Amino acid sequence: MKMMLMIVADSDTDAVMSGLVEAGFRVTQVASTGGFLRRGNNTLLIGTEDERVEEAITLVRQTCRQPEREGQRSATIFVMDVEHYQQL
């Protein structure tokens, strides 16, 4: 199992979340701020099976807008191994 942590611009969050949910991913959104210009963004947390990681990344690539300036990023994605989890 993997935990995906995605940092997505405010302007792209709705489209990214809709695409992920429609594809059957469970997504938790956390409002966050960061970066050099303190632009608004959201952190998305997604727990998924190993074999679906690339599918999620592809969906993000397809739904994020192209960066306005060179050096900007549409999203930052971290993928971490999960040894154990519980739902209570």
The string of pLDDT tens digits covering residues 30-64 is 988 766 556 678 999 999 999 999 999 999 999 98
Q: Is residue 62 assigned to a domain?
A: yes
pTM for the whole structure = 0.84
Is residue 70's pLDDT more than 80?
A: no
Q: How many domains does the chain have?
A: 1
8 Å CB contact between 1 and 82: yes
Residues in contact with 34: Cβ distance below 8 Å, sequence separation at least 6, in sequence order = 7, 41
Q: Is residue 60 assigned to a domain?
A: yes
Closest CA to 12 of 81, 86, 69, 73: 73
Residue-range definition of the domain harbouring residue 41: 2-81
User: Which CATH number fits the domain that encloses residue 10?
Assistant: 3.30.70.120
Q: Is residue 87 assigned to a domain?
A: no
